[in-house]
Amino acid sequence: MANETANAETLRGLLASKKAAVGVIGLGYVGLPLALAAHRAGFAVIGFDIDRHKVELINNGGSPMHTLPAGRVAEARARGRFHATADFSEIAKVNALAICVPTPLSRHREPDLTFIEKTGEAIAPHLKRGQLVVLESTTYPGTTKDVLKPILEKSGLKAGEDFFLAYSPEREDPGNPDFETSTIPRVVGGDDPTTTGLAATLYGQIVNKVVPVASTATAEAVKLTENIFRAVNIALVNELKQIYGRMGINVWDVIDAAKTKPFGFMPFYPGPGLGGHCIPIDPFYLTWKAREYNVPTRFIELAGEVNAAAPRAVIEALIEALSLRHRKSLAGAKVLLLGMAYKKNVDDMRESPSLTILEMLEARGAAVEYYDPHIPVIPMTREHAPLAGRASIAWTREAVSGFDAALICTDHDAVEYGELAEWVPLVVDTRNAMRNVRGRDHIVLA
């Protein structure tokens, strides 16, 4: 107990005075913004990543993502006390360590904790007394305590005495200009009250507001609840879109009017399917864990079914529009897919429904090309490997006007939608991107 008190007091003093060094493992859409925010707050920061190309890019002042300007990385490098490395032995140099690695689903739609487990195994040999380790990766309740903690304790050190273990769910929203890491409140839950206090001290130096909760499991549940809430409500508006569409009612007009009510309503919008790392994946982490307690998750699973069916509904709308308006079948039609990113104005393709839609269109005989100003070439993905290397067409009248139809999957601001309406005889719009374009008689909402 004496060692615990001494270790905690020493670490608290280092965190409060910003004399601590902070490490961030995983320099992607979550980890790199956190590393830069911690550095801007006054901490010395070491970023860790197994991708040596990314490490070299960051150390040269570059950014591996469109949504984070290279200037911010270059500024941090110029100020000093910030660097990236693939050498995990440097973990011994930091006082606090945040784990920001992916938590995907397996092919059987079950949690894949491989990245967390391997990261824990990489940390353990270099773990030292008095360090704080915080998991940020989205996962099911119990992961920090039941999976990560035993791996770290293989070091011979004990959580709560020799080192401190907490969970703080990431809340990044890439491409959202209204929020950044420092302005988004942070939930923190520790393995014990002392650790919760230490984690609150760390994040309290980096973000404007910290929300302590009772445990790591509570904090893990907070993140899942946030994203399940979104998934369920998106499923609802996707279903309403189908109903109102058959009635000749524009669902976007309905939502825009409904959101004028100052209480009791929160707007969500339909689309061609769910994308990004969080919403398509997180609900399944809870449904999987719920089986252990013999608790059905029918509501969550139904939302998943509705959202998973969205790409097929979009294709059916395209087929109907081609047939009724142009007497043309999908087989043999030339289709331009607008947007490979999962949401507007980002270069992030994680779980993008556009990938699924592209494959489904080609399976039905369509000749498909895509345009995305943020994704010039489709990178390698686990689920859609055959699409890797496909390149975006150029945005010119000559290149675009040869298509029978355009299908808008992502409503990037950089696209000239007036030109699209002029150049293509049929536009199927899943994002209401064409709402301000004149001459809408050849535009179909889907």
Catalytic residues: 278
CA–CA separation, 300 vs 231, rounded Å? Answer: 8
CA–CA separation, 346 vs 173, rounded Å? Answer: 10
Q: List C-alpha distances in Å: 2 to 5, 7, 140.
A: 5, 9, 33
Please list the residues that pair with 445 across neighbouring strands. 429
Residue matched to tokens 């109907």: 320
Residue matched to tokens 């999976």: 147
**Residues, the chain, total?**
446
CA–CA separation, 281 vs 43, rounded Å? Answer: 33
Q: What's the gap between Cα 64 and its chain centre? A: 15
What phi, psi does 162 have (nearest 5°)?
-90, -40
Please enumerate in sequence order all residues whose Cβ is within 8 A of that of 123, keeping only pairs 6 or more positions apart, or say none. 25, 88, 91, 97, 99, 133, 152
Residue matched to tokens 């290397």: 389
Q: Where are the beta strands (DSSP E) in 215-347?
A: 334-338
Q: Is 296 exposed, middle or buried (0-12, 13-18, 19+ CB in 10 A)?
A: exposed
Decide: 285 and 138 in contact? Cβ < 8 Å.
yes
Helix ranges, 19-95 (H): 31-40, 52-59, 70-79
Give the residue from 382, 433, 426 showing the smallest Cα distance to 412.
Answer: 433
For the beta sheet containing 443-445, the strands, ordered from the edge strand earlier in sequence to the opposite edge, are 367-371, 334-338, 405-408, 427-429, 443-445
Please enumerate in sequence order all residues whose Cβ is within 8 A of that of 394, keeping only pairs 6 or more positions apart, or say none. none
CA–CA separation, 375 vs 444, rounded Å? Answer: 25
Please enumerate in sequence order all residues whose Cβ is within 8 A of that of 398, keeping only pairs 6 or more positions apart, or say none. none
CA–CA separation, 17 vs 48, rounded Å? Answer: 23
